[in-house]
Amino acid sequence: MSNLAYAAPQRPARPEAPQPRHIEVAPTRSQRRSRPKVFYALVTVGALFALFMAQLLLSIVLADGAYQISGLRVEQRDLSRQEQALGEELDLLKSPQNLAKTAESLGMVISSDTPMFLRLSDGKVLGSAGAAGDGSKLVGGKSFVPNALLSGLATAGSASAGAATAADTPDQEPDSGAPSIEKPASNVASTPGTLPSPVTR
């Protein structure tokens, strides 16, 4: 007969651990994979940062461009004003009053009185040669087509003009600004003789 009354020796109750043990839940692989990754967070923030930087840079460039535009606008305005002023001067120089005055101051004559025509088909010269008469000066110091704007213009004609005689200016239209042209000492012959006929081939 065994000793059934043998009581197992009682172990003393395990003492409580002095500090709670750090328990970690070991995640499974799938759980680990589903955890948000730092990399993605960094990428997102970085992208946002880059966007902000880009916007900042763009607005800096825009503002700088605005200053450039402002400066160029002023330049363009000044240049186009100059262009307009020069165009005005050019139109004045092109005006027939100025051209006629300058031409006559150089001694040129007009051939309305004794026109001569060269017929190319047979080389025949029509008309009679003659010295340039009274009608050969279109203006001759008396301009009947005034242009007050020319008075502000310094032209080649004014340099060679002789004594401006007040008697020359017609009383109806003031020959404003155009000093009278000195008449040449002798009439200029328009042709020495007949014009040579061209030899047509």
Q: Classify 177 in phi/psi space as left (phi over 0), alpha (psi -120 to 50) or beta.
A: left
Q: Does residue number 179 form part of the binding site for other proteins (CB under 8 A)?
A: no
Q: Of 96, 79, 104, which Cα lies nearest the Cα of 149?
A: 96
* Cβ nearer to other proteins, comparing 131 with 138: 138
Pick one of 108, 130, 131, 142: the residue that binds other proteins (CB under 8 A): 142
Contact between 67 and other proteins (CB under 8 A)? yes
| Site track for other proteins across 92-131, x = CB under 8 A | x-xxxx--x-----------xx-xxx-x------xxx---
Q: What value does the CA radius of gyration of the chain take, rounded to a whole number of Å? A: 53
- β partners of residue 189: 131
d(CA 63, CA 77): 21
Q: Cβ of residue 7: shortest distance to other proteins, in angstroms? A: 41
Q: How far is CA 36 from CA 41, 42, 57, in A?
A: 8, 11, 32
Half-sphere exposure at residue 49, Cβ-oriented, CA atoms within 13 angstroms: 6
Binding piece for other proteins, criterion CB under 8 A, among 48-56, 137-145, 159-167, 186-194: 137-145
Among 69, 79, 156, 188, binds other proteins (CB under 8 A): 69
CB nearer other proteins, residue 47 or residue 54: 54
Q: Kindly state whether residue 168 participates in binding other proteins, applying the rule CB under 8 A.
A: no
Q: Is 125 helix (H, G, I), strand (E, B) or coil?
A: strand
Amino acid at 89: E
Site residues, other proteins (CB under 8 A): 62-63, 65-67, 69-70, 73, 81-82, 84-85, 88, 91-92, 94-97, 100, 112-113, 115-117, 119, 126-128, 135, 138-139, 142-150, 170, 172-174, 176
